Amino acid sequence: MAALDNAETVPRLGASSDTILPVLLFTGLALLPAAIGGETYLIDRFMRIMVFAIAAVGLDLIVGYGALISFGHAAFIGIGAYAAGILAAHGINEAVIALPVALAASTLFALLTGIVSLRTKGVYFIMITLAFGQMAFFTASSLAPYGGDDGLTIHMRDTVFGYPVLENARAFYYVALGCLLASYLLCRTLVASRFGRVFRGARENPARMASIGFDPYRFQLVAYMVSGALGGLAGFLLANATDFVSPAYMSWQRSGDLLIMVIFGGMGRLYGAIIGALVYLVAEDMLAQYTEHWRMLFGPLLVAVAVFAPGGLIGVAERLARSRRRD
């Protein structure tokens, strides 16, 4: 166990900033509906942010702590969304049924693709996850009974034991917030556990982990499956939030967006992925008001963060705080 403790390469979860900032972040999200009053549009926008933040947290689990850079992570969102959409097309609009199916489908896809992908390393892992993501994208595009390229409209949101809970914007907002909080706590618990120490140790020195009796491949596969399941959860919520399912949910551009969220917030900090999703999607909404080519404006900012602030926004904030304490 001492060897695993020495394998840590990220700040301890018990650090004050890693406790205070998440509390402030979730408290702010919980109080947001009361602060903005009856602005349903803003509630919907922040609900969308939290949905993508769930997927970003799952991606940060494998990228920030395992150095497994997946460029096909949006496939899990699409699979979760299509699971809900296809069931709705057949008259099954019960979340108690649709959510487990979405989680099972995305987790199974993660298992099958992870068995192959995790046999590779580095750029090969990136390319094979991209290939699997595009395979899922083109498969969804070929589903003519479910809209094909045009997507699938969902005429009724899922009910919860027959009650139309998700039809109410505020109720749906807090459902999404609860799912985000549960996702964050799950990943935080995994990272802080013995499992997490092995997983992080495999990032730095897999041969050493194997020599002390742990199989890094199995730990990486489990983490990959958890990450895929969280993507499926995000897809289920997204399908209900938009009342629509499209192959575009699985595109490599969307996978790139998720990576940007993780990098922008700060890899290896689960709440950094939430902040990254918040900043990225708010910036998208603001810049899109001025030009449809908003990515050209956002691109230089991302380059600046990658070059001058490799720790993302969280890293910048911590350096400023240390500088102020020294002054």
Q: What pLDDT is attached to residue 277?
A: 93
What's the domain range around 77? Answer: 2-277
- Stretch 17-24: mean pLDDT, rounded? 82
With beta carbons less than 8 A apart as the criterion, state whether 197 and 7 touch: yes
> Which band of pLDDT confidence, cut at 50, 70 and 90, is reported for residue 8?
very low
Mean of all residue pLDDT scores within the chain: 86
Predicted pLDDT of residue 312: 76
308 part of a folded domain: no
Residue 306 lies in a domain: no
Tokens of 138: 């083109």
For range 2-31, the mean pLDDT: 64
Q: What is the pLDDT of residue 268?
A: 85
Task: With respect to residue 309, please indicate whether it lies within any of the assigned structural domains.
Answer: no
Report whether pLDDT(232) > 70: yes
Nearest to 254 by CA among 31, 17, 43, 51: 51
Q: Is residue 62 included in any domain, yes or no? A: yes
- The number of folded domains in the chain is 1
Say whether pLDDT at 229 is over 60.
yes
CA pair distance 163, 182, nearest whole angstrom: 22
- Identify each DSSP E strand in 71-213 by its residue range: 152-153
pLDDT at 15 over 70: no
Query: Is residue 288 one of the residues assigned to a domain?
Result: no
pLDDT at 136: 93
- For helices 216-242 and 40-64, what crossing angle results, to 10°? 170
- Predicted confidence (pLDDT) per residue in 83-100, tens digit: 999 999 998 999 999 999
Phi, psi of 156 (to 5 degrees): -150, 130
Whether residue 142 is predicted with pLDDT greater than 60 in this model: the reply is: yes
The DSSP 8-state label assigned to residue 94 in this structure reads B
Is 324 part of a structural domain of the chain?
Answer: no
For residue 64, is it within any domain?
yes
Residue 94 within any structural domain of the chain: yes
pLDDT of residue 17: 65
The angle subtended at Cα 146 by Cα 142 and Cα 151, nearest 5°, is: 80
Tens-place pLDDT, residues 153-205: 888 888 888 888 888 889 999 999 999 999 999 999 999 999 999 999 888 88
Which residue pairs from 103-108 have beta carbons closer than 8 angstroms and sit at least 24 positions apart in sequence? 103/229, 103/232, 103/233, 103/236, 105/79, 105/80, 105/232, 106/76, 106/79, 106/80, 106/228, 106/229, 106/231, 106/232, 106/233, 106/235, 107/225, 107/228, 107/229, 107/232
The model carries a pTM of 0.89
Higher pLDDT, 118 or 293: 118
CA–CA dist 68, 221 (Å, integer): 11
Number of Cβ within a 10 Å radius of residue 253:
9
CA distance 285 to 269: 25
Judge residue 159's burial from the number of C-beta atoms within 10 Å of its C-beta, 0-12 exposed, 13-18 middle, 19 or more buried: middle
- Asked if the model's pLDDT at residue 16 lies above 70, the reply is no
Which amino acid is residue 48, in one-letter code? R
In this structure, of 126-130, 252-256, 294-298, the range with the lowest mean pLDDT score is 294-298
Amino acid at 148: G
